[in-house]
Amino acid sequence: MNFGAQTTAAEVLDGVDLTGRRAVVTGGASGIGVETARALAAAGAEVTIAVRNAEAGERTAADLVAATGNKQIHVAPLDLADQASVRAFAAGWEGPLHILVNNAGVMASPLSRTPQGWEMQFATNHLGHFALATGLLPALRAADGARVVAVASSAHLRSGVVFEDIHFERREYEPWLAYGQSKTANILFAVEADRRWSGDGIRVNALHPGGIRTNLQRYIDVDELARSIRASSGQEVRWKSTEQGAATSVLLAASPAVAGVGGKYFEDCQEARPNVPGERTGVAPYALDPEAAARLWAVSAETIQSTL
């Protein structure tokens, strides 16, 4: 089958047997995280959804067990904006981890900061997942051919990582620039993590899931966004279902179709083309730049180190 924009997560994993594989999906109690967890569980994986809201997590897990018949669905607490919580999650993980889907995220929120003064979208979307993946590295190494998936966004086209002022201390805060920066960071993470870890059999890729109506849009006026996109590009926003939105995540997490692929950015289940300025698809060259990726890694490691 040729996978594309309309493909669902279940279709991507049709015929794939993940029995014996263990997966973590962050933000697995909402939006495309639920559908990612569902498809992995339906294919036989043992799935842990890592969530902030324990009640929502337990409800989702019960639904997924009922829907898939897979009883190996667990819930674990994780607040990505809190480094102590991330460290506790990683420290509590036992045994190998075959699949890590860094899916949780916050978009275009008003300015808020962690107790360290970090800008919240960068702290949650990037630094939390950076600490999680590096903390889980022994477990990923212990798996035979692990995969890490960074759920980024086409919104990375709005901003590269502004190394001179990542946390908006010297420039005016703009919610979309902060989101775009954090999503570029997700892609740069995939580039550098794959370079560092592929020798251990761990492959790391990033993706844009498409546009899907979820809780993610709670800080924005969705109709207004669609209008402004129509006005500036002449294009209609085509929303995907959550099942379609999870397809590229599960492709990169578990499909044999992309075995051996790493350090790439996908959209609509395909490797993305370079962005053409003015268009809303493709990947910005700055998001795949190996020098920026190495620099971000060093900055991120130093930043989270400061909380120890």
Ligand X SMILES: NC(=O)c1ccc[n+]([C@@H]2O[C@H](COP(=O)([O-])OP(=O)(O)OC[C@H]3O[C@@H](n4cnc5c(N)ncnc54)[C@H](O)[C@@H]3O)[C@@H](O)[C@H]2O)c1
- 105: contact with ligand X by CB under 6 A: yes
- 81: contact with ligand X by CB under 6 A: yes
Nearer to ligand X, 88 or 294 (CB): 88
Tell me the three-class secondary structure of 182-206, residue by residue: HHHHHHHHHHHHHHHHHHHCCEEEE
Q: What residues numbered 211-240 form the site for ligand X, per CB under 6 A?
A: 211-212, 214-216
DSSP string, 241-276: PHHHHTHHHHHHHH-GGGTT--S-EEETTEEPPBPP
DSSP 3-state helix, strand, coil percentages of the chain (rounded to 5)?
50, 15, 35
Candidates 7, 18, 23, 33; binder of ligand X (CB under 6 A) is 33
- 78: contact with ligand X by CB under 6 A: yes
Nearer to ligand X, 30 or 70 (CB): 30
- 161: contact with ligand X by CB under 6 A: no
Contact 57, 40 (CB under 8 A): no
- Which H helix or E strand runs over 137? helix 137-142
Candidates 80, 140, 204, 247; binder of ligand X (CB under 6 A) is 80
- Least Å distance, CB 83 to ligand X, is 11
- 57: contact with ligand X by CB under 6 A: no
- 180: contact with ligand X by CB under 6 A: no
- 29: contact with ligand X by CB under 6 A: yes
Contact 146, 199 (CB under 8 A): no
Strand partners, 207: 151, 266
Measure CA of the first residue to CA of the last residue in the chain; give whole Å. Answer: 48
Distances (CA, A) of 192 to 86, 88, 261: 21, 24, 14
96 CB burial (10 A radius; 0-12, 13-18, 19+) = middle
Q: What residues numbered 110-149 form the site for ligand X, per CB under 6 A?
A: 124
Judged by CB under 6 A, the number of residues near ligand X is 27
Answer yes or no: 286 catalytic. Answer: no
- 79: contact with ligand X by CB under 6 A: yes
Nearer to ligand X, 141 or 280 (CB): 280
Catalytic positions are 179
Instruction: Give the binding site for ligand X (CB under 6 A).
Output: 26-27, 29-33, 52, 78-81, 103-107, 124, 151, 153, 208-209, 211-212, 214-216
